[in-house]
Structure 1
Amino acid sequence: MIVGVPKEIKNNEYRVGMTPGGVREFVHHGHAVLVERSAGEGSSFTDEAYAAAGAELVDTAQEVFARADMIVKVKEPQPVEIEMLRPGQILFTYLHLAPDLPQTQGLIKSGAVCIAYETVELPNGTLPLLAPMSEVAGRMAAQVGATYLQKPFGGRGVLMGGVPGVLPAKVVVLGAGVVGTNAAYVAMGMGADVTVMDINIDRLRYLDEIWGNRVRTLYSSKHNIEEAVYQADLVIGAVLLPGAKTPWLVTREMLPHMKRGAVVVDVSVDQGGCIETTHPTTHADPTFVVDGVLHYGVANMPGAVPNTSTLALTNATLRYGLAIADKGWKQAVLDDPALAKGVNVLDGNITYKPVADAHGMNYTPLEKLL
């Protein structure tokens, strides 16, 4: 199979779909890998490193898309990239289709086989290809929150860990999954007063067992969310419904009751956000203010630490990508139910029900098409 790795073109996206080490594995399996020149520079991977790993360097994304059987990316295809997809071509990347109707329509029209990292799901419910970026984004959320709490950045002027005689910042983490756990871990390490909220009591019990009274756990009811958020200096949105639009836990009506200069970091913004007033922003223009509350809604947070992120992502995606290349996508998804759940769009059909439901469009079970 010919595998193509184009340079990412989303605003301030410095990650790349595959490391030179990943290229070497594909080549070892007998596949050809096309890498667009300078695709890895933002992640500190040189063209020379890709060439040494066995990649063929090409000058344009157009050539990558024209020649490759499978496109391996990081972020969802931008409109110009969607136009380059062709029927039967495999697209293997993050898609986040539920809040993105134009992209969904574009992929349906393309006729491509669109496999989303974020909906590959193991039998235990874990999301192995989303997890590494969730770990990065969660840990970054606490760092970003600490930065924007500083007065020059628009925050309340509160130090996360406080100092002797002065209370630390109150941090509320909505969601105790991978993002929330990592956000709480770093915020706790900074010395903040951390409360983690979730509807999964077993998950809260687990956090209580590993961290004890260093972190507070609280059931995520409407009343408890209001009480916690109104007292918070920093709110981190870490809610995920796999492949579906995120519900709003913090509504617009709640904002006037929050502290002036409080900060919200909504990591779930790429699935619609769990804070009603958030919308996707970029690293170039990351924040905005609503009712005196500073909002950070960058949809590709891990893109700010691309070397770490690309290494972590390739670690997770490599075996799945190799399975697709070695067996062909159809046999690969027949052999692996987890990978089958990653197929969101196939031959002009939506094959992942939460995406169809989000847009009120027709859903076609993958088994029917196979």
Structure 2
Amino acid sequence: MKEFTYTRAADTGSVLAALAERPGVALLAGGTELLNWLKEGIEAPDHLIDIGGLPLYDIEETADGGLRIGALQKMADVARHPDVVRRFPALARSLLLAASPQLRNMATLGGNLQQRTRCPYFRAETGALPCNKRTPGSGCAALAAGAEDTAALFGWTEECVATHPSDMAVALAALDATVVVCGPGGTERRVPADAFHLTPQEAPVQRHTVLRDDELITAVEVPGTAWPSAYVKVRERASYEFALVSAAALVDLADDGTLRAARVALGGVAHKPWVLDGITPLVAGLRPADTAALHAAVGPLFEEARPPAGEGFKADLARRATVRALRDAAAVREGDR
């Protein structure tokens, strides 16, 4: 591991100044992801700034009835916050199903959003295996060797077939949340959660998010909504496992119990949370309990899925997770929110 210097930040301004003025700076919050990057050779900073003391811990109500959550809030604390549990069950559930209790007690919201893919070729120590994200032009071993369970269905290219691992990011995309970032001079920029991460089709494969080198995530804002929500995660074991596929759903129900509108985001299928655009006209008027009708209705949304060799099962799994999330969201009673 490369040697580096360490300081603890006194305020946000000093962090932004360091990011703007010094190359080779990395930020330390909970450390649950950065320490892995250091050990695996993914990052080799010259200077490490501990931002754990910055005042980015508040959870406040916004003017539209939503919540503004500080980027340094711990995942475990947000998952059990009464307002989150009552009003945004998909977010609470996505946090509770992530990682392990020990990691959730340390990991922050801002750090969770900046996770990198768990593709085993990207995570190989020293970058010895071909991976265009680690070594541009070296190839994509995951695609060449036969895709892994972590391979994408949407938005991938011959350069990279990896997926993003965050559960929380999927819920935030479905909830139409906003990632608030701060840049030089304290300038604030607001990024829709479903546009924060980048696919290889949208940007060079080495870019993971739209966050610039001189910017810091300061908060996440979840808009107020009366729609019930749910999060479904399908994984190979019951705990401490990343999703094969996941789905976060919000539903608007008519007085007769039929679906009036819906918003769904998928995880484990792309290098970003994948929002199923156009789902509302397909499911409107259907009853959430009519599983067969829902499966038939959402089928066209998966016609553009491109599963690599051996990954065909994931498209069907994602479709089933979508239907389950819609049903679970519809089953949330008014008193549960």
The two structures have a TM-score, normalised by structure 1, of: 0.27
Larger Rg, first or second structure (1 or 2): 1
Structure with the largest fraction of helix? 1
The two structures have a TM-score, normalised by structure 2, of: 0.29
